[in-house]
A and B are shown apart, each in its own frame.
Chain A
């Protein structure tokens, strides 16, 4: 499946490392971009590609909180709960989001549109409180602003309020 679809990219990823298994994280990332989460089938396939066993892939996949092991909604809201954002009211925002979406942290809305996660510092403390939705950052949040973002996403699938992505180097697969 992965291999069928991304043969070239995978060959390129593998060529970057002297040891095959070093390509584990890029491949997990690729799998997640493909389905929104890392499925068992993907882990098995990655194991095969890298000459690992599925448990070895699972080990790494469960270590990184950025990797989702269950299907998630179309928009993955990761709101920062670390200290800087905490000092300027992320707790309230999280509460607000839970109420607005009708789900708790870790859950997905019934229409499979939003998944809410509370995460550690995303390195944007200067513009706290902040959240990341899929690849985009939303900073200096207020409840009102978050509300608008949700509405935009629901309606348009994107929101002009975003300030990202600022990813460097470019994620694998985006080229």
Chain B
């Protein structure tokens, strides 16, 4: 690989300037590095050269004909000329041919002002053309609800097609026809059905593919731009929000920018309207006697809160309070929230949405290797030679991390092992298991068992690293004996896969040089989540990969700042750092910075707070942006808990199911209206920048905490978000070197040693035990509530663009099950189990495993009641994503849904 030869360079000159570049560099790139821009259309650094447009022709000494610089690699001593007359002449001819057909309708083209063709035409062509023939005209065809094509403008560079294939692995676009009449289509006359990542819109050098969400709404130079971070998942893509007169017009991302390198998913590209939905709260509200809300001023609302908080504190003590905050907030807000709860109210009873699963991964990482973050980065994923994905439909949950995996496999030829319930079948959106070299199809209940199978196979084949038996003999023996207690027959009975399935995967995994494990929601949000992650770390240790450069385990965060929420100490068990609540050094350090005591009492997690609210121990809650009423299943009795409170304050964008139960509702700003930082799933701290003025009277969350503290006589004041960040950096030394890439921590050897000698013993038997005997009656299906590519939580269900792709929930079932149960696509069905029943419609999907049905969690209002609820005894994570249901076809249509 090029890395190993990085000391070798090739010297070439371009227009008289010398460039020293690694061998293999393309001439066009070498030129770019020394500031010579060679005009091009079909070339894009993300795509394999296609050399179809001929715009990039250059003269290379000793080669008789002009060469395409986009496909010619450098050679020692090469002399390239890019601005000599015959090159300019060639460019003119290329443009003349393109313009023979291009309509030049720049005045009505959304690309006008940022169009390569416009720019190059301006630079290189005479104002007249020699073509007298009629221009080619394609009849206008409807393409899709979100993406529009205007094929008369197409210059046939095929960037869109290649992007959709090479980067996205979706292959939704086809150049149809031939010659001049080539046009970009989906499948025949059918409207586009794809991932809607917007990539083709972004990569088209002209205005042939545009976004319908902003069509004809702007000229690029009218837009105000702000580079910020998407809030729809833990990947943390950099997006550029573009506004006109405080109105959101468009979102895109620049090639080379952010951790996503300019790639986005549909949520990022088309989901931006959620934050400016008409239902946004514009004023603070106070609930009246009759249950209605009155709009009040901020002063009145804050004064009431301060007064009631103070009364309750006086009457019942600090631990009568509970705080819950969404991990969609910035680090600054999460930090300030916990500081407010700890210092002003005086309680450690704080939790955030990281509790829904992310905390499971963090606890395992801390326990085994002493880090709370990944020790690897996206770059390491791309450079890995073997990847193991466990319990993650990564395309839909973390699409950009998914792109890194795709890049590793497709471009670098990495081996991919997937332990996933999806079947490796292609469809209109990509499916990571189709790229797997070893796919282990697993029922969503049994990811842990499959991991056990892999470890068992590693040990059986003698693939465990030899040195480990000396370093930690008991560790190896204990695991060996523990997995020995689960015979292959048990594995086979539950997974339907026996020893043979694991042999190759175990070998590939063990013999790899750079291995990365990614664990997803299927692991983190299911029972024993933390144990399975711990076992996966065991696997890394056993195979000798743990601690090796480029090797490591990453957990995939669902929400954009799950990672930050934990690091800011906005969870029950941690102070900022995160440091254990009882860590004396951390406490001392913090109380010095805060100039205040840190409460002694223990923290309380979400489920504990809800419980205490029901028993009357908790009197007041401060809920910021979280909506437990609509998130947890009914048997969590969230409503009952909240209604029993003496005082509930909600700070929200919308009047959610939870906010509707509050005494005071405060209007918060969306991410687009504030400054701060988010920490993504790989631990990269990135800047969030205000793109527009706050809507109505809404205010950034941190300002509200600050204002309240003032009123409560314990001021924690900051002028702007940056000042909070400064304080964070003193509380957590070196926090967030805001750089272009993540700076992963190193594993702590002393922690690993402690784990290998003693730590593992406490639960090794339990972690590797398998007791579950879930037999599923034939007429039942396992129902899994899963994340969709087109949505994120409930927030995105207010984005008009995303609603055009997916507006409601439906039950995805395998055609085999459908036939067995007598169901056809679109049939109304009744789901039922002992907890209740619900109705929905069926949609057949090949990749859903037999015996399982998927339902998008974003639309689970009606079906939530069917799920079981179980709280992790250790990490207190509530699990409510899996259940079993009977599925019956309904005779009549579902009213109002037909």
Which A residues are closer than 8 A to B by beta carbons?
40, 43, 47, 51-56, 58-59, 62-63, 65, 69
Contacts and interface: CB of A to CB of B under 8 A. Distances in A.
Contacts of A56: 171, 174
Interface stretch (B64-72, B184-192, B446-454, B606-614): B184-192
Given A51-B426, A53-B426, A63-B177, A58 B171 contact: no
11 contacts: A40-B187, A43-B187, A47-B426, A55-B171, A55-B186, A56-B171, A59-B175, A59-B176, A62-B177, A63-B176, A63-B178
Contacts of A62: 174, 176-178
B174 A59 contact: yes
A89 B551 CA distance: 73
Q: Which 10 A-B pairs have the closest CB atoms?
A: A59-B174, A55-B174, A62-B176, A53-B171, A54-B187, A55-B187, A58-B174, A62-B177, A63-B178, A58-B187
Q: Chain B interface secondary structure, helix, strand, loop or mixed? A: loop
B172 A58 contact: no
A51 B427 CA distance: 10
B173 interface: yes
Contacts of B174: 55-56, 58-59, 62
A55 B183 CA distance: 12
Chain A CB within 10 Å, residue with most, of B170, B173, B174, B176: B174
B391 to A, nearest CB: 25
Contacts of B175: 59
Given A51-B426, A53-B426, A58 B178 contact: no
B182 to A, nearest CB: 9
Contact of B176 (A52, A53, A58): A58
A62 to B, nearest CB: 4
Nearest to A54: B187
B15 to A, nearest CB: 39
Given A53-B428, A59-B176, 7 more contacts: A51-B426, A53-B187, A55-B171, A56-B171, A58-B187, A58-B188, A62-B176
Contacts of B185: 55, 58
Contacts of B177: 62-63
Q: Chain A interface secondary structure, helix, strand, loop or mixed? A: helix
Contacts of B426: 47, 51-53
Contacts of A69: 188
Chain B CB within 10 Å, residue with most, of A55, A59, A63: A55
A150 B175 CA distance: 37
A65 B434 CA distance: 32
A156 B205 CA distance: 57
B500 to A, nearest CB: 24
Chain B CB within 10 Å, residue with most, of A40, A43, A53, A63: A53
Kindly state the interface size class of chain B when it binds its partner: 10 to 19
A52 B426 CA distance: 8
A56 B186 CA distance: 9
A53 B430 CA distance: 10
Interface of B: 170-178, 185-188, 426, 428, 434
Contacts of B428: 53
Chain B CB within 10 Å, residue with most, of A40, A43, A54: A54
Given A51-B426, A53-B171, A55-B171, A40 B188 contact: yes
Nearest to B186: A55
B372 to A, nearest CB: 41
Nearest to B161: A59
A162 B401 CA distance: 62
Nearest to B172: A55
Contacts of A58: 174, 176, 185, 187-188
Contacts of A51: 426, 434
Contacts of B176: 58-59, 62-63
Nearest to B192: A55
A53 B188 contact: no
Nearest to B170: A53
Nearest to A63: B178
A55 B185 CA distance: 8
A53 B175 CA distance: 13
A8 B885 CA distance: 41
Contacts of A47: 426
Nearest to B175: A59
A55 B174 CA distance: 5
Nearest to A40: B188
Contacts of B178: 62-63, 65
Contacts of A53: 170-172, 187, 426, 428
Nearest to A62: B176
A52 B188 contact: no
A52 B187 contact: no
Contacts of B170: 53
A59 to B, nearest CB: 4
A4 to B, nearest CB: 16
A63 B170 CA distance: 21
A56 B177 CA distance: 12
A54 B428 CA distance: 9
A71 to B, nearest CB: 14
A58 B172 CA distance: 11
Nearest to B183: A62
A55 B194 CA distance: 11
Nearest to B846: A48
A58 to B, nearest CB: 5
B94 to A, nearest CB: 23
Contacts of A55: 171-174, 185-187
A153 B333 CA distance: 83
Contacts of B173: 55
A43 B185 CA distance: 15
A118 B869 CA distance: 69
Contacts of B186: 55
A125 B743 CA distance: 70
Nearest to A47: B426
Contacts of A52: 171, 426
A51 B434 CA distance: 9
A47 B426 CA distance: 10
A47 B434 CA distance: 14
Chain A CB within 10 Å, residue with most, of B172, B176, B428: B176
A46 B188 CA distance: 15
A54 B192 CA distance: 12
A55 B426 CA distance: 13
A52 B428 CA distance: 11
A65 B174 CA distance: 16
A67 to B, nearest CB: 12
A18 B448 CA distance: 37
A5 B11 CA distance: 61
B47 to A, nearest CB: 17
B188 to A, nearest CB: 6
B184 to A, nearest CB: 10
Nearest to B179: A63
Contacts of A63: 176-178
A53 B434 CA distance: 13
Nearest to A48: B426
B191 to A, nearest CB: 12
A5 to B, nearest CB: 21
B54 to A, nearest CB: 20
A54 B426 CA distance: 10
A58 B434 CA distance: 21
A63 to B, nearest CB: 5
Contacts of B187: 40, 43, 53-55, 58
B749 to A, nearest CB: 45
A39 to B, nearest CB: 10
A16 to B, nearest CB: 23
Contacts of A40: 187-188
Nearest to A69: B188
Contacts of B188: 40, 43, 58, 69
A16 B174 CA distance: 26
A76 B216 CA distance: 46
B200 to A, nearest CB: 12
A43 B186 CA distance: 13
A54 B170 CA distance: 11
A109 B175 CA distance: 31
